[in-house]
A and B are shown apart, each in its own frame.
Chain A
Amino acid sequence: MMWRFDRFGDAVALKDEYGQTLTYSQLKAEGEALCKAAGGRCLTFNLCQNTIGSVVGYTAFIENGIVPALLNAAIDHELFAALYETYHPAFLWAPEGFGWEDCESVYERFGYRLLKTPFGFETQLYPDLALLLTTSGSTGSPKFVRQSYANIRANTSSIVEYLRLDETEKPITTLPMNYTYGLSIINSHLDVGATVLLTDKGIAQREFWQFFRAEGATSFGGVPYTYEMLDRMRFLRMDLPTLRTMTQAGGKLLPELHQKFVEWCQNNGKQFIVMYGQCEATARMAYLPWEKSLEKVGCMGVAIPGGRFELIDVNGGIITESNVTGELRYYGDNVTLGYAESGADLVRGDERGGVLETGDMAQRDEDGYYRIVGRKKRFLKMYGNRVNLDETERMLKAAFPDCECACAGRDDHMMIFSTVESRLPEMRAFLSEKTGLNASGFHTMHLEAIPKNDSGKTLYRELEKYNV
C-alpha cells in the first residue's frame, strides 16, 4: 500500500470546483470497490483529468496493485490507438463519452467508466512495477517510463520533507495529473492528509480564481510559462491571503522573473520554491530552499533528501572543482526502473540501479548549488512539456515525405525549417495537432537548403542563428 488512507479517516482528501468532496476513508472504500470490479493485478490505461473520478481511479489502482498508465483524456486519437495496440491493457479508466471499440463497461462511478478490453490479463508485469508515465512530451513514439512502488514512496517522502507539508495544506491543481510534476503534487499531499483542490480550469479563467478563494488554496505549481502568464496578468497585484507556497519546475525560469516572484513572496510572507526533476526520476531531484532563493537566483538548488548529484566531464571523470560545466548525474531511490517501448518490456526489472544520466549540462557553485546551463540531447520544453526535436523531425518527414525539413529552436519556441515554403503552414498545424500544444509556440522559416555536413548530417548549430 502506498498511502495508508485510513490514517486520515474523515479528513477531506479531494474537493472539486462543483463542491463535491471525498474523505480519505471514502477514497479508500471507493478504490477497493473499483479494484474488485477489475479483479486483480493487471494493466490499465487511465484517461486523466483533474477530477475526482480520475484521481479515484489512479489512487485505487496504485493502492491495490493494478498498474495504470496515465494519459491525458484529450490524447490524440491515433497516438492512443498506437499505445493500445502496443501494450494491450486489460482495462481503460475513462470519462463517460470516451468510447473505444470492443470495450465493455463493467463499473461506473464519478463520471468515469471501467472499460474492459478484449485483451484480458495477458500483459505480464514485473512485481514492483507500479505506474507508467509518458516522458511529458506527447510526441509520436509509444514510450513509457516505468516507475516502481519504491520509487514513488521514496520521492513522495523526500518531497513531504523538503516542502514541510502537513494536513493543513490545500494545493490547487494547475497541471495535468498525467504530467509527472502535477502527479507528484497529488502524491505528496495525499501522504500527509491534506485536501487536494481539483479543477480543470486554468489560471486565465475566472472560475479558477473563484475556486481558489472560496476554498482558501495554499499552494500551486507552475512551469515557466505559467509564471510568464501570471506576470503578464499582473498577478503580483492580487491579494491572496491563503496562498503560502508557489513551486516552479518543468524548465528554467528566466532569472529576472525568478527574482521578481521571489521578492514578491518575501515581501508578502510567502515562499517561492524552484525545483528540478524528470519523469525518469519519478518527479523531483532538486529544490532551491526558499531561504536561499534570492541569493541563488538562476540555480535549481541542491539534491532532495535521499538523493545526490555528480558532474561528469567529457572523459567520464567526476568534476570536483566549482563552476565547471559537466553532465549532471543523479543517484537516489527515486531513479525509475527504465523505459518501456512494448508490452513485453513491462516484465523487465530495474535497469538503472539508482543512477540516472539526466542529459542536462550543469555547474555547481562554491556553496554546492547547481545551475542548469544546457542540454546534451536535442529537445525543447514547450509549456513545460518535453518535446524531442529528432522525433518531431521524424514525424514531419513521415507525414511530408517529399519535403526536406528540420526542427530546432528554444524553449516555448520551436522553429520548423523546410525547403518547401508552401507546405510550412501545414507542417506547423500538423505538429501542433500531434503534440496537443498551442500553435503559437511553433514558428516556421523557409530555407533554400537545410545546412548539412559532408556525410549528410544536419548542422543544427547553423540553424541556431535563425532563433528569432
Chain B
Amino acid sequence: MTNLEKYINAFVESLEVAAEDVPALKYGESDQWDSVGHMSLIAALEDAFDIMVDMDDIIDLSSFEKGKEILAKYDVEI
C-alpha cells in the first residue's frame, strides 16, 4: 500500500466514510468527524505510520489536506 492509500484508509476506517469522499473532509462538517471520531482518526494514523502525534498537531489536524502537512513533520510523505 502506498502512503496515500494508507492515509485515505485511516479516514475510511475511523470515520466510516467512502474513500471518494475523504479528500473533501473537514472536522465538524461530517457527522462522524466529531471529537470522538477525531480521536479514532488520530489513533488510526498513529498505527498506520507508527508515529506519536503531539497535542499541538492533534488539534491542528482539521482537514484531509492539513493532515498531509502535519504528517510531513513526522517524515511521512503522502
Contacts and interface: CB of A to CB of B under 8 A. Distances in A.
A204 B62 CA distance: 9
A440 B54 contact: no
Given A234-B55, A237-B55, A238-B55, A205 B36 contact: no
Given A232-B39, A439-B16, A440-B40, A202 B34 contact: yes
Interface in A218-234: 225, 229, 232-234
A428 to B, nearest CB: 9
Interface of A: 202-206, 208-209, 225, 229, 232-235, 237-238, 383, 433, 437-441
A229 B39 contact: yes
B39 A203 contact: no
A361 B34 CA distance: 32
A225 B35 CA distance: 10
Contacts of A433: 31
B1 interface: no
B51 to A, nearest CB: 13
A232 B53 CA distance: 10
B1 to A, nearest CB: 23
Interface of B: 14, 16, 27-28, 31-32, 34-40, 42-43, 54-55, 58-60, 62
B36 A441 contact: yes
Contacts of A208: 59
Nearest to A428: B16
27 contacts: A202-B35, A203-B35, A204-B27, A204-B35, A204-B38, A204-B39, A204-B58, A205-B27, A205-B59, A208-B59, A229-B39, A233-B55, A233-B59, A234-B54, A234-B55, A237-B55, A238-B55, A433-B31, A437-B36, A438-B34, A438-B36, A439-B16, A439-B32, A440-B32, A440-B36, A440-B37, A440-B40
A238 B36 CA distance: 21
Nearest to A433: B31
Nearest to A235: B55
A438 B38 CA distance: 10
B58 A233 contact: yes
Contacts of B16: 439-440
Contact of B59 (A209, A225, A440, A441): A209
B68 to A, nearest CB: 17
Nearest to B54: A234
A203 B58 CA distance: 10
A49 to B, nearest CB: 13
B32 A204 contact: no
